[in-house]
Structure formats: structure tokens, C-alpha cells
A and B are shown apart, each in its own frame.
Chain A
């Protein structure tokens, strides 16, 4: 099974900051990676699929990059609505698997 490791586990930042979250796979997953945002009590929301494709309706301040084993999610200018937990998920092989999550907190 493919193990997904996110870093950091917690990130403190301010409105307007540029932030980057990293997701590493235990083996190559090509570009088969998705990113989700989850707020307390809510279902996850898809932000990025196939490493860098922006889901319809998602603000352009979110971007994804990477291939192989290392991937990043970048938020170019944090907005108050962006404070949440973020998960990566690999789709290269089954079972699919998620990272452990990165909680983005207000500094």
C-alpha cells in the first residue's frame, strides 16, 4: 500500500500569507494526487485533482504541483475562509490512501 505523509501537521499563518503544504508518497504515484479542504463538522471539499488541476469553483489562489513522490499545495494569499484542515489523497494504486492532514491555524 502507498503511504502518504503530509508536512507540517500544523501550520500557523496570518491572513495574506503565502503558505505551502507538502505531501510525500512512499512510492511514485505519477500525478494521481488530489487535495481536499475540510472544515469542522463538514465533508471534505475537493480543491485540486491530478496534482495541479483546479476543481471548478475553487479560487485561483489555490494551486497544486508535483509528480512522482513529492507534491505541494500552495495558497497564494490566505483568506479568513481558508483556515481549515487539508488532506492529500493518492489515486495511483488501490487501496487509495490519504495523508494524515495539515491543520492550518490563524497565527
Chain B
């Protein structure tokens, strides 16, 4: 049973860096069949795709955020991370990590999400 669990500060000050981790258990973390993805959702709004990383290190980012984001894997800890710099109130959202499958593209497994509020 694959499980994903996001964690990180619930409150970040404007202009600072948002840092989240996603702990993965069950299944293979380093399999080339999977991509590890971040998605966010402001309160009451729709889903926004942030970006993804393949265990090879290849990444795809949303151009709207690309200058501010870094997605990385720490394979020794089975963790996925997200860093978003220079945050503003517009970055306030629930952040989800998810596992995509290369041969059946879609987010088959999701974390429960973590709320990050940007406020001074």
C-alpha cells in the first residue's frame, strides 16, 4: 500500500521560502516507472499543477512558478521535497504530493495535503 505524507510549516512569512517534504512508504521510490508530483489548491479554488520529478533527476515545472521552485528527491529517506521562494499571499494553499505512473499517466496516489498560509 503506497502512502504519501506531506509535512512542513503551516505558516510562512511573505518573501520567505516555503519548504515542504513528502514521505513515501510502500512501493518503490526509485522506480523509473513513476514521477513524483506537487499540486496545490487555494481554499475554495481548483487544482494547480506545480511540477514533477523523475528518479533520474529529470524535472518538469509549471512555467508560472518555474523561477521560484525546486523539486528534489532524497532517495535515502524516501522523501520528495518542494521549495518555493519569495512567497506571497497568493501562494497560500493546500499542497499535495502525488505519484504519477509513466505508463498510465495520472496521479494514482496522493498525500492528504498540508495547508500553508503565507502571512506576516
Partners in one complex: yes
Task: Encode A59-88 as 1/0 by CB contact (under 8 A) with B.
Answer: 000000000000000000000000000010
Contact: B46 with A101, CB < 8 Å?
A: yes
Bound Cα distance from A87 to B107, whole angstroms: 12
Using a Cβ–Cβ cut-off of 8 Å, how many residues does chain A contribute to the interface with B? 24
Residues from chain A with Cβ under 8 Å of B105 in the complex: 32, 34, 49-50, 91
Nearest-Cβ distance from residue A40 to partner chain B, whole angstroms: 10
Of A44, A53, A94, A100, the contact of B104 (CB 8 Å cutoff): A53
> B96 at interface (Cβ–Cβ under 8 A)?
yes
Residues from chain B with Cβ under 8 Å of A22 in the complex: none
Bound Cα distance from A99 to B48, whole angstroms: 9
Bound Cα distance from A38 to B106, whole angstroms: 15
A22-58 interface with B by 8 A CB criterion: 32, 34, 36, 42-46, 49-50, 53, 55
B89-120 interface with A by 8 A CB criterion: 96, 100, 104-108, 110-113
> B60 at interface (Cβ–Cβ under 8 A)?
yes
Nearest-Cβ distance from residue A32 to partner chain B, whole angstroms: 6
Contact: A34 with B47, CB < 8 Å?
A: no
Contact: B63 with A95, CB < 8 Å?
A: yes
Bound Cα distance from A97 to B111, whole angstroms: 19
* Residues of chain A whose beta carbon lies under 8 Å from any beta carbon of chain B: 1, 32, 34, 36, 42-46, 49-50, 53, 55, 87, 89, 91, 94-101
What are 10 A-B interface contacts by the 8 Å CB criterion? A36-B107, A44-B96, A49-B104, A55-B106, A55-B108, A89-B106, A95-B64, A96-B49, A98-B48, A99-B46
4 further A-B contacts with Cβ under 8 Å, apart from A42-B112, A95-B60, A101-B47, are A32-B105, A44-B110, A96-B49, A98-B46
